[in-house]
A and B are shown apart, each in its own frame.
Chain A
């Protein structure tokens, strides 16, 4: 922002664009200092504003907030030398400041004035306490969820890709798969949880089936539409160049449909996650969904919020991973949605 004020007095004719560019690259953004101030202030609020009742780890949280403030000051001082990390701090400085403000609002509303009822909405230190005392169980839950999710998604995506490809490629297969897809596909996988739990020998296999089913539908429909959307002139060109059926399928239909397939995978991941968590809350005795259910049962609300936060980070990371994979595989595309 300060760059614009510095420029406002400069006549346009004498504007040195390259010099200006270097200048912004070298000068660390002031917002970093604003963010540092916000975090330091948040620490002060946490430690020196008396709590309405006893909350564990209040001072630990204050120290942690000051450490963040210190890191931001260091980030400001060493901005040029930190390279990529420095740039990350620069871009996200305003967001980090906003986070400090949000934490303070939460802190004040829960622990300082009791606006939010206790123990249902514990202050941030309540979540930290849950992590410190219960990290082992959380790690186990994350691992259990990931194993279930990856097994189910791998099976569902593979089955969906094959179904979609066959439906789009051969009319004979499409004749049979089309009604199945149209009838079974739109059923929310969560509604099948009760049936799956008694049809399958273990709750693990039941959940893998549900996750696979939730992934299968969007992946098959979008693979199908992807194959159907490949321009027929691509096949004409390849045929005049000597391509046979196998080549047309493997080298034209599949790469041509991949952009759609990834949309299907993205949608499949979303519904797979939601059925996974639901299944874990209802019948499976492990995983993050089970952890949430357990925390609620014991009125361990810090653990509940902690579990939710872990879920948010985990599932967001999985989505990011999927998009990274797509960007790498579909490097020839341009102008796609950025995640």
Chain B
């Protein structure tokens, strides 16, 4: 579906930003009691890395993504993009959520155009919007409304809406979690292709160990809430990866053991 040139021998010149998370702690107030979600999390991400965050459900991974996006400030610690403190949302850090959250009153084209429109640069970027819709293979649906799209198509639109801003950090919050398994496999390959051709830094939250290992250059495993980093390892396999690779199976077994699920493998 994705019309991206694959250049297997070398990744594109890096357009990604570095991300530094230093001693970040966060909590929520719930009916008078304090719910601690993140406990001194520190993580340094190199430009162009693809980092997958794995952890038990509700452990605070998605909260970390909200902090990286700048949607909320952390209670303690600091986050920096290319050395600059993150103080609020910015189109260089775009999130793709689990729900496509397309604006139902906007056509596919207008959904993708939202970033440039909000930033006041739509006039110069019209062709870029067309090109990005083409990139995710939905040119024929540019005038369709979200309710006319399938789940996979809607998530492609959400991806295009993020990519049109040329983000330096693409934040993926379980973007494939609600798709059927076939669509999910297709889109995993598409995301790898896009990342390899564009060179942005990618932060992915997922529950799917296999997905993390298939996509990421590095996997970070979190503990139960409040989330602490339990393990952090590289996936030293070249792209494009093969799902049947014995090394992936080995890493998968190790990851599941770290998540306390060794018995099931």
Contact = CB atoms under 8 A, between A and B. Distances in A.
A244 B117 CA distance: 11
B105 A241 contact: no
Which secondary structure dominates chain B's binding surface? loop
B115 A234 contact: no
Nearest to A237: B101
A239 B104 CA distance: 17
Contacts of B161: 237, 241
Interface string A201-240: 0000000000000000000000000000001011011111
B97 interface: yes
B71 A240 contact: yes
Interface in A304-339: 330-334
29 contacts: A231-B101, A233-B99, A233-B101, A234-B101, A234-B103, A236-B66, A236-B69, A236-B101, A237-B97, A237-B101, A237-B114, A238-B118, A239-B71, A240-B70, A240-B71, A240-B95, A241-B91, A241-B114, A241-B119, A242-B89, A251-B118, A252-B103, A255-B103, A255-B105, A331-B145, A332-B104, A332-B106, A332-B147, A334-B147
A249 interface: no
Contacts of B115: 241-242
Range class of the A interface residue count = 20 to 34
A56 to B, nearest CB: 56
A288 B147 CA distance: 44
Nearest to A329: B105
Nearest to B97: A233
A247 interface: yes
Contacts of B71: 236, 239-240
Given A241-B161, A242-B165, 7 more contacts: A234-B103, A236-B97, A240-B71, A241-B115, A241-B165, A242-B115, A247-B118
A234 B105 CA distance: 12
Contact of B94 (A234, A241, A252, A334): A241
Nearest to B115: A241
A234 B103 CA distance: 7
Contact of A242 (B90, B97, B146, B147): B90
A109 to B, nearest CB: 51
A256 interface: yes
A241 B113 CA distance: 10
